[in-house]
Amino acid sequence: MLNFEFKNPTKIIFGKETIAKISSEIPKDAKVLMLYGGGSIKSNGIYEQVKNALVNFEVIEFGGIPANPEYAVLIKALEIIKSEKITYLLAVGGGSVIDGTKFLSSAALYEGENPWDIVSKFIRTEIGMPFGCVLTMPATGSEMNSGAVITRAETQEKYGMGGPGLFPQFSILDPQVIQSIPPHQIANGIMDAFSHVLEQYMTFPTQAFLQDRFCESIMQTLIQVAPTVIENPFNHEAASNYMWSCTMALNGLIQKGVPTDWAIHAIGHELTALFGIDHARTLAIIAPSHYRYNFEAKKKKLAQFAERVFGIQEGTTEEKANAGIIKMEEFIHSLNIKTRLSEYTPNFEGTAEKISDRFIKRNWLTLGEHKNLAPSDVEKIVKMSY
Amino acid sequence: MLNFEFKNPTKIIFGKETIAKISSEIPKDAKVLMLYGGGSIKSNGIYEQVKNALVNFEVIEFGGIPANPEYAVLIKALEIIKSEKITYLLAVGGGSVIDGTKFLSSAALYEGENPWDIVSKFIRTEIGMPFGCVLTMPATGSEMNSGAVITRAETQEKYGMGGPGLFPQFSILDPQVIQSIPPHQIANGIMDAFSHVLEQYMTFPTQAFLQDRFCESIMQTLIQVAPTVIENPFNHEAASNYMWSCTMALNGLIQKGVPTDWAIHAIGHELTALFGIDHARTLAIIAPSHYRYNFEAKKKKLAQFAERVFGIQEGTTEEKANAGIIKMEEFIHSLNIKTRLSEYTPNFEGTAEKISDRFIKRNWLTLGEHKNLAPSDVEKIVKMSY
């Protein structure tokens, strides 16, 4: 087990009918900017619940934050924060709204001239404007971590940002919100969370026995509840296990003391930037090829995955490892998610070279848990994913 | 899954050679009271590491906090806190020293006349004096939770206390400290942590699938590393997994969204108060009888435990459940821990009635996850444990 530090101060309020508790979490004298996305919260009852909870607060609204939170849109919200002297942010949405709110939390207190520097220059946020979340779409884990991913359309860029100042003060997780999520988005959420676990698990054996088992626990739970929650999001037990699994998949706990990979996310982000493919689906496209390309380095962990998550007891390490990849693909397909780039776009030719070039330009020359994946390797992995 | 709230702000600093990091966690202008136990830290090098880290701080020492932290001793430390105008507490020890420090954290800011009221009247601590921990003995999980158990010898009482103001600000977990712990104490630590998981797991199926799997993960890890860490505490991998498992067993995470039992601890505390038996061993005495006595209510979970933790696939629910209890006893015996009261004291007769009487006097009439265990049931469970 590697040395680590872990601190996660976010307060989770989990369960049915918990949205009303917002009112006891936000300071009474706060001036609140309530941020949300495309407006689905207005048709599913969440908007009304939030507004009822905020009835005694001074609130300004900012809707329209798009999937893959767009810098140009966020800058408009930043202007409101400054002109209206906002003191507290409330994200009501999924990962995109929460990530956008994290950017705003940082930018609101940033003293530099250009807020894009926070993202492009990887400036760590030590203190942000306080914010809370009402999660409407379990997937990214952003509700209980201090990271965010921000997109800038004009340059087709998608970058991570973060820092200890960007933990939500509280996040409300009411599994009932899942009832109004379309099945393909629930599938995306399951895929995203599953992939988060894979990135922190599928490296090499490090004798972090407890962390391994926690990872396997999350993956087993997602596999167990996936059919039910997609079929019937009113099933409270499936919905709540899905929701809590997504949070636990990326709240920092399972990555402590172990190496992590994250190459799949790095490559996947490019597919979203280039083609607008749903984030979760880019992970489904890249993961199987990534594991086949890096088979030798990862085969022991792939075999453990096959044994413990899918119960495969027969065969050599290599056979089990291969079976693990196949089982993983079958699970992804069971979510009705396709695993080849050519199934998403006819314009896939040249993508591998384009992504490789972009990694070279950014000096991203050492991906993966061994920091030995060069842009030429990335190119081959993307080609294998066509 | 039941509704829950979860917030745990303790910063964990885990790994080799991390004790020196104390100096960056305590405010520079703090006046520190350093608390420890019987002085073993002076022979194993931990005292020196801590003192070196504190070289630029104003520090007063208070040693001699006994196992099962004794109120009369703690009151002497409280006098020093007040007379010396201490602003920060540093616990260097195991669960007893940390629990004692939590009492002091609360009592230092308590405005009532009698500090024992905090314990005897279950006064919840909202704000305590800030404190950090250097953990020297993994077992209780106190290093990452807000609870404590305090003993008062003159009345043979042992009570729990706690509140959100009693989370450590930081806890340093260097697995190398395990190298100097005697094997029987390591065995106690494993038993204690294992029992913490059992109390939060062995109830009835609640479809909290993820929490169940996390519990099973911790128990499997403890079972896996127990022989190695007892045999060779210099084995870093076994030591670090043992240490992290103990913390995760009682930092609040696995109890969220599920019913909990805690009857074993409630009864066990009486055996420590009456006979001075090590806390962990009292749990080993009570657990098997408790599960046999409450077999019908717990058999589904006992069977799941047998299946997932011990790999027992054959038999009816009842057969598996029985096998689970037997496997649990075998595991406890493998730690060289005895499971009958008569193996610890020749004066066991009358104990069951005595404990039952004490529960009646305290109005503790409804133990267990169903709140249906009366003192008469406690009496039978203790008799079964003779």
The structural domain count of chain A equals: 2
> Which chain B residues are closer than 8 Å to A2 by Cβ?
15
Q: Is residue A304 part of a domain?
A: yes
Domain boundary among B176, B202, B217: B176
Q: Is residue A3 part of a domain?
A: no
Cβ contact B217–A221 (<8 Å): no
* ipTM over the 0.90 cut-off: yes
pLDDT digits (tens, 9 = 90+) for B252-292: 999 999 999 999 999 998 999 899 999 999 999 999 999 99
Candidates A293, A286, A291; CA nearest to A303 is A291
Cβ contact A11–B6 (<8 Å): yes
Nearest CA in chain B to A225: B209
| Joined tokens for residue A64 | 């329209």
Does one domain contain both B322 and B272? yes
Q: Is residue B311 part of a domain?
A: yes
Domain boundary among B176, B205, B237: B176
Q: What does the pLDDT average to over A169-185?
A: 97
> Which chain B residues are closer than 8 Å to A220 by Cβ?
213
Q: Is residue A302 part of a domain?
A: yes
Beta strands in B136-240 (DSSP E): 147-152, 157-162, 170-173
Per-residue pLDDT at B155: 82
Does one domain contain both A291 and A376? yes
> Which chain A residues are closer than 8 Å to B2 by Cβ?
15
Does one domain contain both A25 and A115? yes
Q: What does the pLDDT average to over B108-122?
A: 95
- The predicted model scores a pTM of 0.97
> Which chain A residues are closer than 8 Å to B13 by Cβ?
5
Cβ contact A210–B221 (<8 Å): yes
How would you write B331-345 as a 3-class SS string? Answer: HHHHCCCCCCHHHCC
Does one domain contain both B171 and B187? no
B160/A6: higher pLDDT: A6
Q: Is residue A204 part of a domain?
A: yes
Does one domain contain both A151 and A66? yes
Report the CATH number that the domain containing residue B301 is assigned in CATH: 1.20.1090.10
Does one domain contain both A23 and A98? yes
User: What is the β-pairing status of strands A157-162 and A147-152?
Assistant: antiparallel
Q: Is residue B276 part of a domain?
A: yes
Does residue B156 register a pLDDT over 80?
A: no
Domain boundary among B176, B196, B219: B176
Does one domain contain both A148 and A295? no
Partner residue facing B1 (CB), from A10, A220, A240? A240
Give, in degrees to the nearest 5, the angle at Cα A314 between A310 and A315. Answer: 115
pLDDT digits (tens, 9 = 90+) for A194-209: 999 999 999 999 899 9
Q: What does the pLDDT average to over A110-123?
A: 94
Does one domain contain both A206 and A277? yes
Query: Are A379 and A353 within 8 A, CB to CB?
Result: yes
Nearest CA in chain A to B176: A3
pLDDT digits (tens, 9 = 90+) for B188-230: 999 999 999 999 999 999 899 999 999 999 999 999 999 999 9
Cβ contact B214–A216 (<8 Å): no
Phi, psi for residue B353 in degrees, rounded to 5 = -65, -40
> Which chain A residues are closer than 8 Å to B6 by Cβ?
11-12, 14
Query: To the nearest 10°, the Cα dihedral for B238, B199, B311, B184?
Result: 40
Does one domain contain both B225 and B168? no
Does one domain contain both B96 and B111? yes
Per-residue pLDDT at A42: 92
Q: Which residues pair with B151 in a beta bridge?
A: B70, B158
Q: Name the pLDDT band for B364 (thresholds 50, 70, 90).
A: confident
Neighbouring C-beta atoms of residue A251, cutoff 10 Å: 21
Instruction: Identify the domain containing residue B331 by its residue range.
Output: 182-384
Query: To the nearest 10°, the Cα dihedral for A9, A10, A15, A16?
Result: 140
Interface mutation vs chain B, best among A3, A22, A218, most B CBs within 10 Å? A3
**Amino acid code (one letter) for A323:** A
Does one domain contain both A119 and A259? no
Treating both helix axes as pointing N-terminal to C-terminal, what angle do A317-334 and A295-310 enclose, rounded to 10 degrees?
A: 70
Cβ contact A241–B217 (<8 Å): no
pLDDT digits (tens, 9 = 90+) for A232-262: 999 999 999 999 999 999 999 999 999 999 9
Give the integer Cα–Cα distance in Å for B330 and B226. Answer: 13
Does one domain contain both B236 and B256? yes
